[in-house]
């Protein structure tokens, strides 16, 4: 977990991660979650139970001001997914305020599509406690592999900032070379770094505290490939099992 500081721009950020699910059919956090001091004020990016749809919700404690759910399922436990969430609530069009990309392709069709108004602040990227791989209350723990987690504060970026199509037509990672903003970070889960698995490799020093590992906590894989074809691409160090709370 990590408590964020003052953001570069709370209304604008980009979250990118590579995941490979080990368990399908169960609700689990897919990325960044946030909770304010008052219970119920929260934002969560996750897969829902049963249907395996990608979902995002942001609540002010009394209602869900944003509630999005894809109508596409994500059930392939043999494949890597590159997930990107992009927020820019200053956009005039509601469709441009929140964008999802999976393996470089934008999700444009939703089974649930409730979006907040222009310039609305969400709890993500606020000066609150943030978690990766579970909700802030330690529920819905992610089960699978996770690699190369990047958060960029103050910019609404596109998928080609983090990935590309290789010669085999496969979406693969590429190194992000831009800036990160005040709360931005890059987690490579390399336990040999100064601050261990939670070390921030962006240069910002926004290190995370890794807690709550299960029995797979020692199973850290180096160079786990993007699979599905004969083509492979390095993701760097990859964390296996139920992820830490941060």
The DSSP result for 196-215, as a single string, is GGG-BTTSS----------T
Task: Indicate the average pLDDT of the chain.
Answer: 74
Burial class (CB within 10 angstroms; exposed 0-12, middle 13-18, buried 19+) of 228: middle
Helix (H) or strand (E) holding 114: strand 110-114
Are 42 and 136 a contacting pair, CB within 8 Å? yes
Are 48 and 69 a contacting pair, CB within 8 Å? yes
pLDDT digits (tens, 9 = 90+) for 33-56: 655 544 445 566 667 666 566 766
Average pLDDT over residues 226-245: 40
Are 42 and 165 a contacting pair, CB within 8 Å? no
* Sign of torsion over alpha carbons 195, 124, 182, 83: positive
Helix, strand and coil percent figures for the chain, each rounded to 5: 5, 40, 55
CA distance 202 to 90: 26
pTM exceeds 0.85 for this model: no
Beta bridge partners of 13: 87, 153
What proportion of the chain, given as a percentage, has pLDDT over 90? 19
* Residue of 104 and 143 predicted with greater confidence: 104
């Amino acid at each position: 977990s990590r408590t964020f500081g003052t953001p570069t721009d709370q209304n604008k950020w980009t979250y990118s991660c590579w995941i490979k699910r080990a368990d399908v059919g169960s609700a689990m956090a897919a990325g960044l979650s946030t909770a304010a001091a008052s219970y119920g004020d929260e934002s969560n990016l996750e897969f829902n139970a049963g249907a395996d749809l990608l979902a995002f919700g942001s609540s002010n404690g009394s209602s869900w001001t944003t509630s999005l759910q894809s109508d596409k399922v994500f059930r392939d436990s043999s494949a890597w997914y590159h997930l990107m969430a992009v927020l820019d609530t200053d956009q005039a069009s509601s469709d441009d305020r929140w964008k999802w990309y999976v393996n470089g392709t934008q999700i444009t069709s939703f089974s649930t599509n409730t979006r907040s108004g222009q310039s609305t602040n969400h709890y993500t990227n606020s000066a609150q406690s943030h978690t990766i791989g579970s909700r802030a209350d330690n529920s819905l723990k992610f089960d699978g592999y996770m690699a190369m987690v990047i958060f960029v504060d103050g910019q609404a970026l596109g998928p080609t900032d983090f990935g590309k199509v290789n010669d085999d037509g496969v979406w693969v990672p590429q190194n992000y070379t831009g800036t990160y903003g005040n709360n931005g970070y890059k987690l490579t889960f390399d336990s040999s770094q100064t601050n261990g698995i939670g070390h921030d490799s962006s240069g910002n020093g926004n290190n995370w505290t890794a807690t709550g590992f299960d029995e797979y906590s020692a199973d850290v894989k180096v160079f786990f490939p993007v699979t599905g074809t004969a083509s492979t691409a390095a993701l760097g160090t990859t964390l296996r099992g139920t992820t830490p709370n941060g």
